[in-house]
Amino acid sequence: MFQDNNSVIEIKQEYQAGKRNFQNIQLRRIDLRGLDLSYADFRGADISYANLIDVNLSGANLQEAYLNESDLSGSNLKEANLNKASLIRTYLIKTNFEKANFKEAYLIGSKATKANFKEANFDGAYLKGLQLTGANLQDSSYTNETHFDGNFDPEKAGMKKVELLKIEPVCHKSNITVRQLLDTFNHLYQISHRYLGKTMTVKYWEASRHDHEWLKQFEINHLGQISFTGEPELTLSPLQLEIFQEWVKRFIKSCSAIMQNFPNMIDQQQIVFDIFPTPPNNKVSSYEIKTDSAKPQSFTL
């Protein structure tokens, strides 16, 4: 079921009256098919499960917007900004994304049959499970940070690799600080909050936390973000690191119960230890976690 016509009429009237700022608006399940919303600002908006067939969103700012499981078939998003946007399991059939910016965007499990991605930017984008049958990827760019399926050959598809000057990641095998833990929390928060929402993120962080005195110094706010009440530059002891790893392991297990491909979204360079999903029978059930020791430790969930 889509939202009532009043919401659609209101958006259409406001746009025609000159309004372009629709930041953080809630438009889940809305039917906007065929509307001209070019150059509108939908930063942070939630337009999931919506009917966006044949919508004109050319030049629109959809940075950090949620378009999960919406239908954008036939729509025009030429030069649209989709930086860090979430388009998980979205229909993008024959959609025009020429020169669009998908930097660090999530297109996992989406259908992009015959879509036009000519000269689009996929730096750091998550493209695993993206169906690209007949899609035009000519001169679209990718980097070492772009996440493809293992059997996908970007150069054969017409894409070009761009080398970016980046600072080398900090070595995570020793002298791990609380600040680095918070960076790990933030990365996992960005993924879980994007698709599972703040309520489930908070619930899973709380439910997976051990009843350990040290962990009580980590505070979880209503959005699921985590802060530390002590000294952020504190170096962890081996025991503290082990406790933290167990918390993260339990959190990932909880998220994976809802979304099985959750571990595949984790960028290893964003966390302080290596996590390798080992899904027997296509089910996420165990992880291998590397620490300082030469031999990885295996934790079964």
Q: Are 60 and 160 found together in one domain?
A: yes
In the chain, the number of structural domains is 2
Q: Are 146 and 33 found together in one domain?
A: yes
The residue whose two tokens read 């009429």 is 9
Measured in degrees and rounded to the nearest 5, phi and psi for residue 300 equal: -95, 135
Query: What domain range is 251 assigned to?
Result: 178-261
The residue whose two tokens read 């399940």 is 29
pLDDT in tens, 91-146: 999 999 999 999 999 999 999 999 999 999 999 999 999 999 999 999 999 999 99
Residue 271 lies in a domain: no
Q: Are 69 and 199 found together in one domain?
A: no
So what's the pLDDT on residue 297?
Answer: 37
61, 82 contact by CB (below 8 A): no
So what's the pLDDT on residue 127?
Answer: 95
Taking the C-alpha atoms of residue 212 and residue 131, their distance in angstroms, rounded to an integer, is 45
Q: Are 39 and 120 found together in one domain?
A: yes
Q: Are 123 and 197 found together in one domain?
A: no
pLDDT in tens, 17-53: 999 999 999 999 999 999 999 999 999 999 999 999 9
Task: Identify the band that residue 79 occupies on the pLDDT scale cut at 50, 70 and 90.
Answer: very high
Q: Which amino acid type is present at position 177? A: T
Residue 36 lies in a domain: yes
Residue 199 lies in a domain: yes
So what's the pLDDT on residue 187?
Answer: 86
Residue 173 lies in a domain: no
Residue 70 lies in a domain: yes
- We report the CATH number of the domain holding residue 62 as 2.160.20
Q: Are 85 and 216 found together in one domain?
A: no
Contacts of 142 (CB under 8 A, 6+ apart): 122, 123, 125, 148, 154, 159, 160, 161, 162
The residue whose two tokens read 């209503």 is 222
Neighbours of 50 (CB within 10 A): 25
Q: What percent of the chain has pLDDT over 90?
A: 50
So what's the pLDDT on residue 243?
Answer: 84
The residue whose two tokens read 């035009």 is 136
Helix axes 238-258 and 178-208, enclosed angle (nearest 10): 50
pTM of the model: 0.58
